Homo-oligomer: A and B are copies of this chain.
Amino acid sequence: MNSLPELMKSFGDRFKTFRFPESPANLYQPNDYFLSLGGKRVRPVLCLLGNQLFGTISEDAYQTAAAIELFHNFSLIHDDIMDKADLRRGKETVHKKFGSNTAILSGDVMLIRAYELLATINPAYLPAVLTLFNTTAREVCEGQQLDMDFESIETVAMEEYLHMIGLKTSVLIAASLEMGAIINNAPAVDRQHLYNFGLNIGIAFQIQDDYLDAFGDPEKFGKTVGGDIKQNKKTFLLIYSLEHTEGNYKERLNKLLQTDNDDKVTQVLSIYKSCKADLWTKELIEKYRSSALESLSMVNVKEEDKKPLYELAEYLIQRES
């Protein structure tokens, strides 16, 4: 059983050598550039983790893991155009560096390349892997659409926001684990538990991301705190607070959303605290984290074999002692 760091290194080393064809350079170079920006490669490692839970890691698992990482990068390239994002991992995004047309077409070919890798895996489980890959890919697009839709709506219900987050970020985490499991012929019931583990850990991670952007230690978090607040981004904290403040506080929060003052972050944070959005958010993270662990506990393999997955849950969800 490989540990989480071992698998991260093993996948990272292989993926570093992955290249697009040389020509046409204007189509493929932007993709090599984007992949060179790196990333944690969490999703492909999840595929390997799901795979080794039910046997030896196969070449097909590595191929599928790479396909998953290509899909993820395709979605980032296109999302960056839609979100007009200039930077990704501190470097210029593809559309910023090469123009939107290139970003559209290079993204398309990144997605197609993912399917090229999938097409090589054993036909015995190709249909199952491909079907899950497709459903997930479509759900990720649905999540991105809902995210864009929500930007222009004043009020988003917590349930709708959770649904969007699930589609945009968690289904791919869940499916990555399950695809690995499929490739080692895991029973359907275990595949489902593993999927649920991934789905819940993914949602917990996203809630934590919202929490840390507001209340995280800037040094540990690695970015300035309050970015979401400055941009009026709909987050678990904001949606909860809008649903749970009344009278004076609600009015102040709504007014703050229309301002851009220097003390906006401080003031919004104080409202979050006054309605206990911070505590509620931490409880919500814990709820999803423990649901995830419960699903993992139901997967019918030896507990000690699950150790790398527990490591992963800890890696993704940092708990204060």
CA distance A113 to B138 in the complex (A): 8
Distance in angstroms from A11 CB to nearest chain B CB is: 22
Question: Is there an interface contact between B130 and A119, defined as CB atoms closer than 8 Å?
Answer: yes
Task: Return A63 CB to nearest CB of chain B, in Å.
Answer: 13
Q: How far is the CB of A120 from chain B (nearest CB, A)?
A: 8
Which B residues are CB-close (under 8 A) to A142? 24, 27, 109
- Give the Cβ gap from A261 to chain B, nearest Cβ, in Å: 30
Task: Verify A141–B78 contact, CB threshold 8 A.
Answer: no
Q: Which of A71-95 contact B (CB under 8 A)?
A: 78, 81-82
For residue A72, give the distance in angstroms from its CB to the closest CB of chain B. Answer: 13
Tell me if A185 counts as interface (CB < 8 A to partner B): no
Are B127 and A123 neighbours in the complex by a CB distance under 8 Å?
A: yes
Which residues on the B side are within 8 Å of A124 (C-beta)?
123
- Does A105 belong to the interface (CB within 8 Å)? yes
Given A24-B149, A104-B81, A142-B24, A127-B126 contact (CB < 8 Å): yes
- Which residues on the B side are within 8 Å of A145 (C-beta)? 24, 26-27, 105
Q: Select which of B26, B104, B137 is within 8 A of A104 by beta carbon.
A: B104
Kindly list chain B residues whose C-beta atoms are within 8 Å of the C-beta of A105: 78, 82, 141, 144-145, 148
Q: Which residue of B lies closest to A144 (CB)?
A: B105
Measured between C-beta atoms, what is the minimum distance from A26 to chain B in Å?
6
- A146 at interface (Cβ–Cβ under 8 A)? yes
Which listed residue (B24, B123, B134, B148) contacts A126, Cβ 8 A? B123
A108, CB-defined interface residue at 8 Å: yes
Task: Give the docked Cα–Cα distance between A78 and B77 (Å).
Answer: 15
User: Which chain A residues (94-153) contact chain B, with CB distance < 8 Å?
Assistant: 100-101, 104-105, 108-109, 111-113, 115-116, 118-120, 123-124, 126-127, 130-131, 133-135, 137-138, 141-142, 144-146, 148-149
- Contact A134–B111 (Cβ < 8 Å): no
Please give, as numbers and ranges, the residues of chain B lying within 8 Å of A149 by CB-CB distance.
24, 26
Q: Please determine whether B112 and A137 come into contact, CB atoms closer than 8 angstroms.
A: yes
A123 to B120 Cα, complex, angstroms? 13
Q: Is the CB of B119 within 8 A of A131?
A: yes
Residues of B within 8 Å of A133, CB to CB, are 115
**Of all chain B residues, which has the CB nearest A101?**
B82
Bound complex: CA A108 to CA B109 (Å)? 11
Write out the residue numbers on chain B whose beta carbons fall within 8 Å of the beta carbon of A144: 105
Contacts of A27 in B (CB 8 A): 141-142, 145
A227 to chain B, nearest CB (A): 22
Q: Is the CB of B111 within 8 A of A111?
A: yes
Name the one of B104, B120, B146 contacting A82, with C-beta atoms under 8 angstroms.
B104
Shortest Cβ distance from residue A80 to the other chain B in the assembled complex, whole angstroms: 11
Other A-B contacts than A81-B101, A126-B127, 9 sampled, CB-CB below 8 A, are A24-B149, A104-B104, A111-B111, A112-B137, A119-B127, A123-B123, A123-B126, A123-B127, A130-B130
A residues in contact (CB < 8 Å) with B: 24, 26-27, 78, 81-82, 100-101, 104-105, 108-109, 111-113, 115-116, 118-120, 123-124, 126-127, 130-131, 133-135, 137-138, 141-142, 144-146, 148-149
